[in-house]
Structure 1
């Protein structure tokens, strides 16, 4: 019969070098497992609706929606990453040192791409509100696709630079078997902080501060002239209101993202080593954000509610459904 000490080890056969398990009551294990599994399923399902909607319906192929599609793709993969957190319920990593590094690389690519996409969304809102006459010619579908592709490529290259030491010798920062830890040198930490946290957050705040000021002035101007406008003017005002509503929605998405992602980055760059923890509040907020984005679309975008209805009723399988009018 195994001793209590052996049972609490990640690898009982390697008692001298194995990490200890995190011991919880059985009910706690079941609660964590059920919660993470439910969140994972919800994130994957909701973001899959966004991906199918924007990809399938041609009317939704707009520059702004392409940015939302990029964000949905990253959130979609976050749902699958929760599976690794489920494996870490007892605090032990059983997939080996190389897979530990791969997990972190995928995690950082997804996270950094989300941050860069948020910067693009902020730029999109800035141009739409502050320079609306140049928006149709400046922000085109082709340019947005190129920018999104460059963001993902840039994130991937930077992440491999950050993780170069860990790729060379996987597991070098582990203190025992069953641990999943990565470490950064000063240059790698600087790149991570500057390009994926400090820089993007600063740009987002500056752009949205400017957008807020201009949007408030436009809203006041519309209210002061709404009683004296002609029919043509009414159409223009309605267009302005539509633009302001869209910016408000994207502003909510960005604000929720910043609130959710900041603790995650603070913990990630706080020290030289970062240990995975399924119970970490920062990780919970990060995963919660991936679930909240589609819910925000449901609340603010009628086209998303209509597209979900068409998807659930399998109307998208009919010929010509991609040309349906859902806006």
Structure 2
């Protein structure tokens, strides 16, 4: 059944459409529409699902346009609730699709990846992190059965334009500039609409913040998984995210238009809340490491939005990745270390 579109007009040729995400507590993605002198441009597209597509199409009509009229799509990051419908949008409209090079690489890699290779990689990573056999069993069963689901996002478009941070984007009649904000994904971008706020609100324009800056929830910060990274490059996504937050906080925008929840003001205050949140989380995590623990055991003890016993299988995998991102940050700060020779790998405070 098609969801009735919820459209919000933000003024100055900007609208948002609530595009549903099936079976997800987030509920919807706020897909933004930006009017330009060459035609309307989307910021993100929503999840690849029939109801989501119908809602997006109806929402565009409610904004006074249609999918067929779209000139382009700017994708804040590659996740399927943002990039999922881009392929269908391009098929219907011929619109160009733009994304940061780092996330475009992920899209190409996902297209080429065999599900079996991904399951082998994921099971190995989780085993090394201390996951119990009962968590690994479904992954191994899917691998051995040969009845594996394809990886998500395969219907999304391969981007044909690159979003280059710092440069004004080629949008006739608008001043929109990308800011690289890695952390949630390696190529996440926020898009700064450097124009006077339509209500005259003080500040430097408006910010399409994607998942980087949300008013009431913290984005997932996990490891950037790459099965083909033979060198196992050591990365620090949480450090990337915190640095990116600082950059956005200094921007001083009048209003933030995020991809979930609702638009809000006082971006600096929200940035400070998130910085304080992660500082407290790192402090609590270091206290847990008074005795060596695996990433899995750390994840079990961290505070989530529900008790560990109620977290489903896939979300536990994500939680362990987030725990590892925090552990990497502690190691980089010199506050924790890997226990030499530990298998599965364990960490301890220093």
Give the shorter-chain TM-score range: under 0.3
Rg larger in structure: 1
TM-score for the superposition, normalised by structure 1: 0.27
- Which structure features the higher share of strand residues? 2
Q: Which has the higher helix share?
A: 1
